[in-house]
Amino acid sequence: MLLRLIVGLLFVAMFSFAAAAKETTATIIYDDVTTEVNRAADAGGQLWITTADLKRATRFEVKPQGVCRDELCFPLTKGRKEEFLRHESGASWFNLTAFAQLVQQPVAHDEALATWYFGLRADQRQGLASLRAPDFTLPDMAGTMHSLSDFRGKKVFLVTWASW
């Protein structure tokens, strides 16, 4: 019984970021888009942001069916909701690094500059295994955007190069 209580308290301490980390700012790079957030908490290498900033930085939203963006939805198992969501200091907080782990997304972090880079999620990497050429949209010299998918119906020779 006592042991269970101690384990329980430890569990609360682990996920209670407010006790472990004070609010700070952070730079988040998600899908190669940079967003500055004014309210962030780095608790033991875990990045918590408000659900409002979650939407701003990643376009993902917490919905009853899971964490969703357009058609894409990642359900959160009931027993694990605490790992991702907290309500503290008058805001809803979301653990973006725990979510990254859930969706098998690599994360790189620079502590000194409070900058977090989120790489490709598993769903974004499936193209190669299926032999579908991953789509991309990039600008030409004039700034006009072109997507690989614009060329469907033609044979495409894709070639990279660099000035270096």
Contacts with another protein by CB under 8 A lie at: 27, 29, 32, 34, 106-110, 112-113, 115-120, 124-125, 127-129, 131-136, 138-141, 146, 148-149, 151-164
Q: Return d(Cα 93, Cα 21) in angstroms, integer.
A: 13
The residue (of 22 and 152) whose beta carbon lies closer to another protein is 152
Q: Return d(Cα 108, Cα 119) in angstroms, integer.
A: 8
If one counts every other C-beta atom within 10 angstroms of the C-beta of residue 30, the result is 21
Q: Return d(Cα 35, Cα 96) in angstroms, integer.
A: 14
What does R_g of the chain's alpha carbons equal in angstroms?
20
The residue (of 68 and 133) whose beta carbon lies closer to another protein is 133
Rounded least distance, CB 119 to another protein, Å: 4
Rounded least distance, CB 12 to another protein, Å: 31
Rounded least distance, CB 129 to another protein, Å: 6
